[in-house]
Amino acid sequence: MRAFFQVLGNTLVANVTSSFLWFALTFWAYLETENVLATSIIGGSYMLLVAAFGVVFGALVDHMKKKAVMVLSSAITLGTYLGAGAVYLAFPESQLIDWGRPWFWCFAGLILIGGVVENLRNIALSTTVTLLVPADRRDRANGLVGTVQGVAFMVTSVFSGLSVGLLGMGWTVVIAVVATAVALTHLLFVTIPERGIVSSGDTATPALTFRGVIPAVRRVPGLLALILFTTINNLVGGVFMALMDPYGLTLFSVEIWGVVLAVTGTGFIVGGALVAARGLGPNPVRTLLLVNVGVAVLGMTFAIREWWWLYALGIFVFMMIMPIAEAAEQTIIQRVVPFHTQGRVFGFAASVESAASPISAYLIGPIAQFGLIPFMRTDAGERSFGWLLGGGEARGIALAFVAASAVLLVLVLVAFASPQYRRLSRAYAEATPPEPDRDDAGGAAQTQEGPADSESSTGPVIPCTRDHTAQLGGTA
C-alpha cells in the first residue's frame, strides 16, 4: 500500500499537469477562434488518438514493467510539451491563432499527443492497483484513484482559466513543461515491487495490433457485445465533450468559468471518497448502469434553462457520479480478467469504446454551429422548442444536450433488460480475484519466458465464462 500511495501521488502531479494544459488549450482555442467547430475538432482528435493507440498502450503495459511504462509516458509528454513551446515561440500569436493554418494544428496537436500519452500511465495505474492492493480493497483503491482525478480536475480547471486569462498561453506552456519535468524526476525514485513480467504465451500474433489482443479478449465471452453498447453510448458522450465548454463560456468569462469548474470539480472528490469509504456494493455492474441512468436524466435537465446556477449544479452532480462509474468498471475488469492480460483488455476497451466519441464530436460541431444554434435564434425555433428550453443565447447547444441524453436513457434501459447484464453480474459474483506475484521486498525483477502458469503468476485460473462491462461515455 505504501508503494501504491507513492504511485498515486506521482500520478496526481502528472494528471494535474496534463489536465492543466488540456483545459488551457480548449479555453484558448475557443476564445481566440470563437468557433465551436475548432473545439469539437480538438476534442474529437483527442478521443480519436486514444482509440488509435489504446491497444498499443495496453500491450506495452503487459510487456513492460509498470514503472518503466510510467517513465516512458512522462518522458514523451515532456518532449511534446517542449515541442509545443518551440512552435509557440516560432510564430507570433496573431498568426498562431488562425485555425485555418497548419501551425495552429501543429501547436494543438503536440499538446494533444502529450495528453494522449498520459493514458498510457493511466492504463498502467489500473493494473498497478491489481498488483499492489489486496483484492478485497481494490474497489476502495479505485475510489481513491477517482478522488485524485477529482483533485487534479478541480485544481487545473481554475488555474487553467486564470493562466490563460492573466498570463497567456505562452507562460501556460512553460508551467506545464516545468511541472512535467518535476513529476518525471520524482518518478525515477519511486519503487514499484513487481517481481516479473509474465508472458501470456500468445506469441503467434503481434501483440501491438488488434489481432494480437483478441486472445486476451476471448478470455471474457460477451465482451464484444457489451463494447458495442458502450460504443453507441460514447456517441452520446462525444456531444457533451464537444459542447460543454462552449456552453459554459457563453454563460461565464474564461476566468469565472475556470473557477466554476474548480468548485464543481469537488464532485469528483466527493464521489471518489464515497467509493473509498463504502465500496461499490455487491454488484458493481448494476452500479455502473445506474450511473448511466443518472447521467441521462441529468443531461436532459442541467441546460433546460439558461441559468448559471442550474448548469453549475448539474456539472457538480455529473462529476460526483463519474468516479463511481470509473471505479465500477475498473473493479470488474480487475476481478474477472487475469493480471497478465489486464493491460491489453483495458487498452482494447479504450480503443474500441473511445472510437465512437470523435464521430459524434466531429458531427455535432458543424451541426451545432451551422444548424441548431442559428435555428434556435429564429422564430421557428422558439415556437418549436421554446416551451422546453426557454430563451437565451445558447439554446441550440441546450437542444443538443437534451436530445443526446434522451438517446442515452433509452440505451441504458435496453442494457438493463439484456441477458449480458445478468450474465456479467453472475460472472462477477462467481469470479476468484487474481492475485499477482509481487516482489514485496523490492528485489530485482525476474522475467518469465514462454507460457505462464496462472496459479503461480496471476492467482487462480479464472474460467473463461466472464463478461466485460460497458464503459460510460466520458466527457470531462
Q: What CATH number corresponds to the domain at position 278?
A: 1.20.1250.20
Containing H/E element for 337?
none
35-39, 62-66, 205-209, 372-376: least confident range: 205-209
Separation CA 342–CA 340 (nearest Å): 6
The answer to whether position 467 is within a domain reads no
Higher pLDDT, 64 or 1: 64
Task: Flag whether pLDDT at 167 surpasses 90.
Answer: no
For residues 433-448, average pLDDT: 50
Separation CA 252–CA 246 (nearest Å): 10
Q: Tell me what pLDDT residue 280 has.
A: 83
The answer to whether position 475 is within a domain reads no
Residue 96 domain boundaries: 2-457
Higher pLDDT, 79 or 455: 79
Q: Check if the beta carbon of residue 444 is closer than 8 Å to that of residue 469.
A: no
The answer to whether position 476 is within a domain reads no
**What pTM value is reported for the model?**
0.66
Query: How many domains in the chain?
Result: 1
Task: Flag whether pLDDT at 47 surpasses 70.
Answer: yes
Q: Tell me what pLDDT residue 451 has.
A: 35
107-111, 190-194, 350-354: least confident range: 350-354
The answer to whether position 466 is within a domain reads no
For residues 384-394, average pLDDT: 82
Task: Flag whether pLDDT at 63 surpasses 50.
Answer: yes
> 199: which DSSP letter?
P
Residue 46 to residues 163, 356, 446: CA-CA distances in angstroms? 22, 12, 36
Task: Flag whether pLDDT at 334 surpasses 50.
Answer: yes
The answer to whether position 470 is within a domain reads no
Q: How confident is the model at residue 272 (pLDDT cuts 50, 70, 90)?
A: confident
Separation CA 48–CA 199 (nearest Å): 29
Separation CA 80–CA 73 (nearest Å): 11
The answer to whether position 36 is within a domain reads yes
Higher pLDDT, 76 or 378: 76
231-240, 324-333, 385-394: least confident range: 231-240
Task: Flag whether pLDDT at 274 surpasses 80.
Answer: yes
Q: Check if the beta carbon of residue 314 is closer than 8 Å to that of residue 260.
A: no
Q: Which is nearest to 341 in space by CA: 115, 84, 62?
A: 62
For residues 66-80, average pLDDT: 90
How many CB atoms within 10 Å of residue 102? Answer: 9
Percent of the chain whose predicted confidence (pLDDT) is above 70: 78
Q: Tell me what pLDDT residue 445 has.
A: 39
Q: Check if the beta carbon of residue 94 is closer than 8 Å to that of residue 249.
A: no
Q: How confident is the model at residue 180 (pLDDT cuts 50, 70, 90)?
A: very high
Q: Tell me what pLDDT residue 209 has.
A: 57
Average pLDDT value for the chain: 76
Percent of the chain whose predicted confidence (pLDDT) is above 90: 7
Output the nine-digit C-alpha cell for 139.
474497489
18-32, 56-70, 428-442: least confident range: 428-442
For residues 431-459, average pLDDT: 45
Task: Flag whether pLDDT at 361 surpasses 70.
Answer: no
The answer to whether position 427 is within a domain reads yes
Half-sphere exposure of 434 (CA within 13 A, CB side): 30
> 194: which DSSP letter?
B
Task: Flag whether pLDDT at 465 surpasses 50.
Answer: no
Q: Tell me what pLDDT residue 419 has.
A: 82
Q: Which is nearest to 23 in space by CA: 83, 103, 105, 112?
A: 112
Q: Check if the beta carbon of residue 364 is closer than 8 Å to that of residue 243.
A: yes
Q: Which residue has the cell 475557443?
A: 30
The answer to whether position 275 is within a domain reads yes
Task: Flag whether pLDDT at 30 surpasses 50.
Answer: yes
Q: Give me the sign of the Cα torsion angle 380, 382, 385, 387.
A: negative
Amino acid identity of residue 333, one-letter, is: I
Q: Tell me what pLDDT residue 175 has.
A: 93
Task: Flag whether pLDDT at 83 surpasses 90.
Answer: yes
How many CB atoms within 10 Å of residue 343? Answer: 27
Q: How confident is the model at residue 75 (pLDDT cuts 50, 70, 90)?
A: very high
Half-sphere exposure of 215 (CA within 13 A, CB side): 15
Q: How confident is the model at residue 207 (pLDDT cuts 50, 70, 90)?
A: low
